[in-house]
Amino acid sequence: MEQKRRVVFTLYAYIFMIGFAVSGTMFSTVLPKIIGDYKLTLAQAGLFSVFTSSGNLIAMVITGMLGDRYRKSILMGIVFLGMSVTLTLIGLEPPFFLLLCFLVLLGVCSSILNLIVTAYVSDLYGDGRAKYINLVHMFYGVGSLVGPLYPMLLSQSGFRWKYSYLFLAGIVMAIGISYFVVMKNLKEPALSIGRNTLKEKQEAASFQSWRNLFHYKGMIALCIMSFLYMGGHQNTFSTWFQTYLQTENAQIYTEEFTSICMTLYWIGMVISRTISASVSQKIAPREFILAGSLGGVAAMTLGMLFQVPWVWVLSVMALGICTGAVYPLTFAISCAWFPDASAKVSSVVGIFTSVGSMFCGWLVGKIANSVSFYFAMFIPWVSLAVVFLIVWRCFPKKQKDFCIQRERAR
């Protein structure tokens, strides 16, 4: 019975991540339509990243303060329902300023959901967290396959972009209600993390200070890497790629073509996370990130150099395969270092992700508007290259190296 309960709650965690993924990744498809309907410049469109990321930043602080104090199973259900309300508000097609405000709210709800689900699965599976955190983000990748295509298919059926948000809001609300019905009738499974000794809990308490987390060189490197990878590379690339191609040549790079490209990118992400989950006991996260970031730099180089459709198809697929596991591995590493403060340490990593997304997303819009969109799209390329250098030079080579460093810093 215990195993059945664990499976049910894990499945809901996966479903939550699919919903979160669709709500975020569909934005790259609707962005050109929003720019057209609201008559925005590229610089104004860059504000979407700023406001969404500011919501993410608020979410990190909230999660850090509350995530380890309250039951994560309840928190993730509440924010999932909150995400439904926010999607509805965006779908009402409000004035531009209110749209930005509602994107802040969506950023708050979706980022809390992301961190709480990741931390909950970490607590649920203990030492097996690397595999299951990768699976959580693999299901995020599954939702991301649907995200770019979903508004495109609705558009082909005659629905405007706002219905993408309204229909998704209804689905999310129904799933959230069913989750609380299940919670009421099915006892929550025991958490593996709860088996720690009193001494371990006391030692962990000293690490729950925000300041203490940064005593360790490995943690600082991990945060900077998150700033560059999620902020400078993945979020920036996935948000702007379709708009970039359609702006460069709308006749060749149609909405259908760019949506398919993004779907292939997320297929690559799913493949990457599946591989990472299956080899998590054999290949250390550091080595996986090194190989993936280097391969991703090579894949993106091909697309940016040749600028032809068939090369972009291959390039984005390869980019997803190479880099897809990087993000979940950052959480697997941080939760392994601080298992009794999984929500807090995840929120610290997430803060750097949000700041990176806020700054780099705005910077792409600014450079694209004043200099060149092509030049602006080198930001994801440079960010990924620097990720490789940071992990290569600054990451502890083994888990025990971090533990030794942490002991010396006390």
Residue 156 lies inside a defined structural domain of this protein: yes
- The C-alpha atoms of residue 289 and residue 292 are separated, in whole angstroms, by 5
**Burial track 208-236 (b if 16+ CB lie within 10 A, e otherwise):** beeebbeebbbbebbbbbbbbbbbbbbbb
Residue-number span of the structural domain to which 296 is assigned: 2-189+201-409
Cβ count near 61 (within 10 Å) = 16
Give a yes or no: residue 195 inside a domain. no
Is 398:337 a contact under the CB 8 Å cutoff?
Answer: no
Q: In whole angstroms, what is the distance from residue 131 CA to residue 273 CA?
A: 9
Residue 207, both tokens = 């690490």
Alpha-carbon distance of 379 to 363, in angstroms, equals 9
Q: Is 70 in a helix, a strand, or coil? A: coil
Do the beta carbons of residue 356 and residue 237 sit within 8 Å? no
Number of C-alpha atoms within 13 angstroms, CB side, residue 390?
21
DSSP run (H or E) holding 63: helix 42-66
Burial of 385: CB neighbours in 10 Å, binned 0-12, 13-18, 19+: middle
User: Is residue 78 within a helix (H) or strand (E), and if so which, with residue range?
Assistant: helix 72-91
pTM of the model: 0.77
What is the pLDDT, as a whole number, of residue 63? Answer: 76
The answer to the question of residue 252 being in a domain is yes
Residue 354 lies in a domain: yes
Specify the number of domains making up the chain.
Answer: 1
The reply to whether 85 falls in a domain is yes
Sequential pLDDT tens for the chain (410 residues): 677 888 899 999 999 999 999 999 999 999 999 999 999 999 999 999 899 888 888 887 787 677 667 788 899 999 999 999 999 999 999 999 999 999 999 999 998 898 889 888 888 887 777 678 778 878 888 898 899 999 999 999 999 999 999 999 999 999 999 999 999 888 888 777 554 443 444 445 444 555 666 666 678 888 999 999 998 999 999 999 999 999 999 899 998 999 999 989 989 988 998 888 788 778 888 899 999 999 999 999 999 999 999 999 999 999 999 999 898 888 778 777 777 666 677 778 878 888 898 899 899 999 999 999 999 999 999 999 999 999 998 887 765 554 544 444 44
3-state secondary structure of 404: helix
Give CA–CA dist 325/216, Å, rounded.
24
CATH number at residue 343: 1.20.1250.20
Structure tokens at 302: 């091909």
Please check whether residue 399 lies inside any domain of the structure. yes
Q: Would you say residue 313 lies in a domain?
A: yes
> Which amino acid makes up residue 32?
P
- Token pair belonging to 38: 């609201």
Report if residue 194 sits inside a domain. no
Strand spans (E) along 304-375: none
Q: Say how many residues make up the chain.
A: 410
Tokens of 329: 């591995």
